[in-house]
Chains A and B, each alone.
Chain A
Amino acid sequence: MGNWANKYYLDPLHTPDHRSPPTFDSAYGFPNGRKARVMVATEEEMKSAKIPLEDRDYCAHYLIKYKACKAKNWPWAVKCKHEKHEWDYCEYEE
């Protein structure tokens, strides 16, 4: 609500647009640069595991592990709670 009021009424000039990428330099505040994010799962792995397009992010390798575990232990999917928690935590940190 606050963001909405700022964007349309109170301060439309200075409210950032949530649809466009960040305008600041990505190294701003990091004099020696930052570590780049590493994509672990490859395109072929995600394709063969039939990962949905919206899940092909930097956590996809956890999801692949989770799905493999479920397929292995079915119907006792609760045995994969560790894998599920890892994937959920990664998505939470995204």
Chain B
Amino acid sequence: MNALKRLALVGASTTNIRLGAVGLVGVRGYWNKDWKPGPYPKTEEEKRAAAKKYNLQPEDYEPYPNDGSGLGDYPKLPQVAMEARDPYHSWDYPSLKLDYGEPVPDMFNIYTEDRLDDYTEPVIPGWKKVAMFLSVFCGGWIIFQYFQERPAFRAVLPKQYPKDGAVHYTFEPAE
């Protein structure tokens, strides 16, 4: 039961985890005050208690600097995009690629699989994207400039208008 409470507290920091936790433990952690991290730990004792609360080993636990960001005792965890995680591991929450009771980084919700991934190398590197754009754009511009000097036209003479002094003829002979 203690573990379930811990999970609820840990998961309370993000919506996604909260939904999973609610499914498991019912009503635990659905109120704002339950999601809030505790106050910044000052003593060793407080640090150990916070590490236990977040399912971490005391040597792995490191809070964010107390600079007024309001993160309190929430642990500083590596931000890894979920898309970069092993897709073949048997996760307890496959849709989130998370295990049971696993602490998540504080910006976890922007690193889920449907959102950011600044961790994996892109398939096409940036310089190649720029080169692809420039080659298509400049190539199109060169082709355009080439045919700009050779416009298509309709092969007929200008229309005859009855202007002063201009004489036009029909196709009938005079006599």
Known: A56-B161, A57-B161, A94-B159. A18 touches B153 (CB 8 A): yes
The closest CB in chain B to the CB of A57 belongs to B161
**What A residues does B175 contact at CB under 8 A?**
32-33
In the assembled complex, the Cα of A18 lies from the Cα of B30 at a distance in Å of 81
**What B residues does A57 contact at CB under 8 A?**
159-162
A19 within 8 A of B: yes
Determine how close the nearest CB of chain A comes to the CB of B163; give it in whole angstroms. 10
Could you tell me how many residues of chain A have their Cβ less than 8 Å away from some Cβ of chain B? 23
A22 within 8 A of B: yes
**What A residues does B161 contact at CB under 8 A?**
56-57
A74 within 8 A of B: no
**What B residues does A58 contact at CB under 8 A?**
160, 162, 168
Residues of B contacting A: mostly: loop
The closest CB in chain A to the CB of B150 belongs to A8
B124 within 8 A of A: no
Known: A21-B157, A22-B157. A39 touches B150 (CB 8 A): no
In the assembled complex, the Cα of A16 lies from the Cα of B158 at a distance in Å of 13
**What B residues does A73 contact at CB under 8 A?**
none
Chain B interface category by residue count: 20 to 34
Cross-chain contact A4 with B152 (CB below 8 angstroms): yes
Known: A34-B169, A34-B172, A94-B159; 8 extra A-B contacts, CB below 8 A, are A3-B155, A18-B158, A21-B157, A26-B169, A33-B173, A34-B174, A35-B173, A57-B162
Residues in A lying within 8 Å of B, measured CB to CB: 1, 3-4, 7-8, 16, 18-19, 21-22, 26, 30, 32-37, 39, 56-58, 94
Residues in B lying within 8 Å of A, measured CB to CB: 150, 152-162, 167-175
User: What 8 A-B pairs have minimum CB-CB distances, sorted nearest first?
Assistant: A39-B162, A34-B169, A33-B174, A3-B155, A32-B175, A37-B168, A8-B150, A35-B170
17 A-B contacts (beta carbon < 8 Å): A8-B150, A18-B154, A18-B157, A18-B158, A22-B157, A30-B174, A32-B174, A32-B175, A33-B175, A34-B171, A34-B174, A36-B170, A37-B160, A56-B161, A57-B159, A58-B160, A94-B159
